[in-house]
Amino acid sequence: MNPLERYAPLVDDPEAFRAACQRPLPSVVRVNTIKATADRVAAAFDTEGVGYEPIEWHDGLFALAERGPGTTWPYFHGWVHGQEEVSALPAVVLDPDPGDRVWDACAAPGSKTTQLSAQMGDQGLVVGNDSNLGRLSALRHNAERLGVTNLAVTNQDARNFSLKPFDFEAFDAALVDVPCSCEGTCRKNPTALEEWTIDHVRSVTGVQKSILSRAIQATKPGGTVVYSTCTFAPEENEAVVDHALQTEDCRIVPFDLPIDTVPGVTEWDGATFDSAVTETHRIYPHLNDTGGFYCAKLEVTA
């Protein structure tokens, strides 16, 4: 079964949706403001003859015409980092302040983690956690190349994350970009569809619910938790957020995104979800020529 077919009822133009999923994904880089500015990166690309176009909604993203991000000297010097366009959204939505304490629950290989550090001016504290010790090496490498100094790396199961190593009791904010079935990455990783099974979707939702619950518990009242995935499956998106609304002290915060999205769904496969999930966002590849994505913003209420 092609998993894309099960989502045809959710999209406005199923044919355009399927066609977009078959096209290669544009190569995008994020400017690392710890080391450079967008103007300096643009000048370096001009000097090196690297074709690029600015991404309209974010002045620190460039779409490259041909060359991959790892083939340019600004990449090696840590001026830019290869990052899918929609992957930059969660950190923008979280919008941490310099000096905040932020937990990235599933951090490796570090694109969003290092973006958070840059947004915070490399101040405060970002705790980049991952349960996979091997993937943490990529996180540490990327942080070093990008000049990040406000990062603490931990190797814990996010479902049972402990704050004991730290001298504070709660985070100001948390980013929860959970492991998922990855259907939305099919434009850069076709095996995501070839290896897809409904059993995997159903099995991973328990992990996702537990990680999101722990993030809410570990964040102070009034703090923000952003939940995101790169899948279209409501079981991994709205159903997980709905579970948090029922079991944890939190509420959905409405927010706008600078790209085209559609609201979260309230019904799927016989299940119904809290009407507030319509304030979350679904991003389909044919809407903005990106990967697929889902994003929700929560406030801890007690």
Cβ-contact 76, 142 below 8 angstroms: no
The Cα–Cα gap between 33 and 146 comes to: 9
**CA 282 to chain CA centroid, nearest Å:** 13
Which residues partner with 283 through β-bridges? Answer: 293
The Cα–Cα gap between 143 and 145 comes to: 6
What is the 8-class DSSP label of residue 96? P
The Cα–Cα gap between 290 and 284 comes to: 7
What would you report as the CA-atom Rg of the chain, rounded to the nearest whole angstrom?
A: 19
Residue 37 has a pLDDT of: 98
Residue 1 has a pLDDT of: 66
Q: Go through the domains of the chain in sequence order and give each one's CATH number.
A: 85-300 (3.40.50.150)
Contacts of 242 (CB under 8 A, 6+ apart): 273, 274, 277
Rounded to 10 degrees, the C-alpha dihedral 206/294/97/82 comes to: 110
Could you please report the per-residue DSSP string of 205-273? HHHHHHHHHHHHHTEEEEEEEEEEES---TTTTHHHHHHHHHHSSEEE-----SS--EEPPSEETTEE-
pLDDT tens string for the chain (302 positions)? 688 999 999 999 999 999 999 999 999 999 999 999 999 999 999 999 999 999 999 999 999 998 778 888 999 999 999 999 999 999 999 999 999 999 999 999 999 999 999 999 999 999 999 999 999 999 999 999 999 999 999 999 999 999 999 999 999 999 999 999 999 999 999 899 999 999 999 999 999 999 999 999 999 999 999 999 999 999 999 999 999 999 999 999 999 999 999 999 999 999 999 999 999 999 999 999 999 999 999 999 98
Cβ-contact 58, 92 below 8 angstroms: yes
Alpha-helical segments (H) within 78-168 = 89-94, 111-119, 133-145
Contacts of 127 (CB under 8 A, 6+ apart): 101, 102, 103, 104, 151, 152, 153, 154, 166, 171
Q: What is the pLDDT of residues 41-89, one digit of tens each?
A: 999 999 999 999 999 999 999 999 987 788 889 999 999 999 999 999 9
Active site members = 230
pTM for the whole structure: 0.97
Using CA atoms, how far residue 219 sits from 58, 115, 174, 176, in Å, is 28, 20, 7, 12
What are the tokens at 135?
A: 């993937």
CB atoms within 10 A of CB 69: 18
Residue type, 218: A
CB atoms within 10 A of CB 267: 10
